[in-house]
Amino acid sequence: MTRAFVVVMDSVGIGGAPDAHDFFNGDVPDTGANTLGHIRAACAAGKAEDGRSGPLKVPNLDTLGLSHALALADPSFDAPNKPSGGLWGAATEKSQGKDTPSGHWELAGLPVPWDWHYFPKSTPSFPDEVTAEVCRLAGTDGILGNCHGSGTVMIDQFGAEHLKSNWPICYTSVDSVFQIAGHEQSFGLGALMDLCAGLAPMLHAMKVGRVIARPFIGEPGAFQRTANRRDFAITPPSSVLTNWVQDAGRPVHAIGKIGDIFSMQGIDDVRKGPDADLMEHLEHWVRYAEEGSLTFANFVEFDSLYGHRRDVSGYARHLEWFDAKLGRLLMQLRVGDMMLITADHGNDPTWVGTDHTRERVPVLIAGQGHGALGQMNFTDVALRVADHLGVDVPAPSASVQTQ
């Protein structure tokens, strides 16, 4: 019996999605978006020099086959001449979304069986009945925001008024989300969590994927979001990889927002924090996870700190940081372990707008030999992990297939 580690580099896409033309940032289709490829090109051209310098340096990921996967997904990038030291492939998503739940559910074996509900870009963005329910739950006469926007911009724009009125700051994006920002002291962290939990059933019934609590601290001009974010996500309508492993009597450890994404379905414990802390948690489980266990991790700061903010240098720095830490992890794997590194969507920091980009993602596997896996489906990730752990994969229920 051996162990499995699934590590999601949130938003590290590799371009080449065949349906990218159907997804947009504003009025611009995602055709040609390539998160990793364009970061590599910017670094090579000396255009990502803030806090780092020169070509992108990710030797451990490249040894596993990252550059091979990039060239497979997007042939405009040259394939390396040397063989890889791991298994590598490029995965294509089926679900009609380029968001966190769509990507993670499908990586875990379940393509999203419905169309998500998205809020219009008009202002106000939310239906009157949703606004009224927020007000009822919060005990306020109104809300702030009620529009599409970036979280940091929303708290800068409405934070001072929020401190005076105690009205929650509510906003959305091109993803299927309803986000609520509240000051941890004046509004109250517990009150914010209760508000999101109370609102979630109504929005889940509308097929809004997540209600996200976005707590912040500070004073006007110096507001700062905290690590106490929580996602109240729709529960997957059918079993996924975490359930398959847990149902087989094996431990399942979650790191980062994995517990929120899967509504704790099939998960025994969760460790959260910024990416630096998450890396320590991952190293802990690489050292101590039980035989036959699954550890499922998400590193979100590629996406949240650098992709959405279109920070090419920051994204490159984070890739290099992750790669250096990965080298230490790989040395600690036991014989027979599988470590599978992938992503859930793209977020090309060179692209227009501030939203995710529709892309293929890399699939890199350490500890299981080396060579090409070829073009894959997102769901192949779950099937490979289940096969490695020797757990049964149930057939999809008819109700999920027909929704």
Query: Which residues define the annotated binding site?
Result: 10, 303, 308, 344-345, 356
Q: How far apart are the first and last CA of the chain?
A: 37
Annotated binding-site positions for Mn(2+): 10, 303, 308, 344-345, 356
CA dihedral 235, 195, 274, 108 (to 10 degrees): 10
Nearest residue to 295 (alpha-carbon basis) of 342, 338, 265, 264: 338
In DSSP notation, 132-144 reads HHHHHHHT-S--E
User: CA 257, 103, 92: angle at the middle one, nearest 5?
Assistant: 150
In three-state secondary structure terms, 10 is coil
Beta strands in 240-281 (DSSP E): 252-255, 269-271
Ramachandran class of 109: left when φ > 0, alpha when ψ lies in -120 to 50, beta otherwise:
left
φ, ψ dihedrals at 381, nearest 5°: -60, -50
Write out the H or E segment, with its range, that includes residue 178. Answer: strand 177-183
